[in-house]
Amino acid sequence: MDWDVGMSHITISEWFQSAATLRCHTKEKVAFIVLCQVDMILTSVAVSLGFTELNPFVVFLIEFPVMFIVIKGLVPLLIAWAVPGRLLLPSVAVLSFVLIWNTKELIYLLW
């Protein structure tokens, strides 16, 4: 069985080979995990400085720090393990934009 993913064509065996290990497309997977961790740290810093989190799910998680760390820390690891790295590229791009935007806003508001 074959799937078309964007412009690339992958088979089920290639999917499992890439998904079952962090060895395939390691750069993309590491970038995704690191960006998620930076987002978690930036969120924690902003909330500790008195800023309001707009995402209601994250607001709920912040009330329970252990859940916040587990969800924001472990879920990206599971996603990176389960998803082929090249499929993480759109998420890496969006996370990069969001982190740049949030950092800019935080610096602007603290200035």
pLDDT digits (tens, 9 = 90+) for 39-76: 999 999 999 999 999 999 999 999 999 999 999 989 99
DSSP the chain: -EEEETTEEEEHHHHHHHHT-SSTTHHHHHHHHHHHHHHHHHHHHHHHTTPPP--HHHHHHHTSHHHHHHHHHHHHHHHHHHS-GGGGHHHHHHHHHHHHHHHHHHHHHH-
Mean pLDDT of 102-111: 90
Q: What's the confidence (pLDDT) of residue 59?
A: 94
pLDDT digits (tens, 9 = 90+) for 66-81: 999 999 989 999 999 8
Using 50, 70 and 90 to split pLDDT, how confident is the model at 2?
Answer: very low
Using 50, 70 and 90 to split pLDDT, how confident is the model at 95?
Answer: very high
pLDDT digits (tens, 9 = 90+) for 20-35: 566 678 899 999 999 9
**Which range (1-5, 39-43, 88-92) has the least confidence?**
1-5
Is the per-residue pLDDT at 1 higher than 90? no
Q: Are strands 8-11 and 2-5 parallel, antiparallel or unpaired?
A: antiparallel
